[in-house]
Amino acid sequence: MSGVDLRNVSLDALQAEVKRRFECSFKPRSRVVLVGPAGSGKGTQAPRLSDEMCWCHLSTGDLLRDEVKKGSELGREAKKIMDAGGLVSDDIVIGMIKNKISEPMCSNGVIFDGFPRTVNQAKALDNMLASDGKQIDKAIEFDIPDQVLVERITGRRIHLASGRSYHIKFAPPKVEGIDDITGEPLIHRTDDTEEALMKRMNSYHANTGPILDYYKQKGRFAKVDANRNVDDVWNDLKNAARPI
């Protein structure tokens, strides 16, 4: 609630937050990485995992879209790369993550979604955490065939402010085109075209595939079959992510 005048927050909301924090204090702490191609379901599952385990959800895609929305110089540069299905430079995304992981909401644990995407980013993340005596406890691959992704991506609609993800067929909002929680309009991401998707899939296999071996070699790897309905994927994910 930093930056918020607590006198303007209702007592009910404050009590709910205190209760949430109390319950969170009993949950295990961990840092997990979700690895999977565009449309594999990382952004659908991460908020559920965040609610269940009290770990913060850090999505580099969402952080970059925030910069685009703000119209910052970084955002303008990033938009061109994202719309073309390319990768934003390692320095930029590593810097964004560095700023976020030390925030109080990430003290219980972190779900990294869409980061790291290159072995260079994975090594930078390990160094960042090691300097604080921490590590990635599990990298979880969302295993899915490429051919499923086109329908998922072209039918996706998102709520820009929260990153909440819907699908016109598989996960429709209660009212067409409207976010269930805020009542605000949903948008079609400008990189959710078949053309950009092909580039993102190629980039995933070339650049992100090798990080799976990086985590396998460290013995911190798990895989879920992401080509099933949302609830079945969730059941496997929560077991894979739970610390031993």
- As annotated, the active-site residues are 42, 117, 156, 189, 200
Strands 165-167 and 156-158: antiparallel
Interface with ligand AP5 in residues 95-124 (CB under 6 A): 114-115, 117, 121
Q: Which amino acid is at 183?
A: G
Task: Give the CB-nearest residue to ligand AP5.
Answer: 61
Beta carbons of 43 and 113 less than 8 angstroms apart: yes
In this chain, which of 75, 86, 173, 209 binds ligand AP5, going by CB under 6 A?
86
Q: Is the peptide bond before 116 cis (omega within 30 degrees of 0)?
A: yes
In this chain, which of 29, 230, 236, 242 binds ligand AP5, going by CB under 6 A?
230
Interface with ligand AP5 in residues 120-159 (CB under 6 A): 121, 152, 155-156
Tokens of 105: 């909401």
In this chain, which of 33, 57, 61, 237 binds ligand AP5, going by CB under 6 A?
61
| 62 Cβ neighbours under 8 A, 6+ residues apart | 43, 113, 163
Which candidate, 125, 103, 140, places its Cα nearest to that of 242?
140
Interface with ligand AP5 in residues 169-198 (CB under 6 A): 170-171, 191
| 142 Cβ neighbours under 8 A, 6+ residues apart | 34, 35, 36, 37, 40, 41, 42, 45, 224, 226, 233
* Least spacing, CB of residue 175 vs ligand AP5, in Å: 16
Pick 54 or 68: Cβ nearer ligand AP5: 68
Q: Which residues bind ligand AP5 (CB under 6 A)?
A: 36, 38-44, 59-61, 64, 81-82, 85-88, 93, 114-115, 117, 121, 152, 155-156, 165-167, 170-171, 191, 200, 229-230, 233
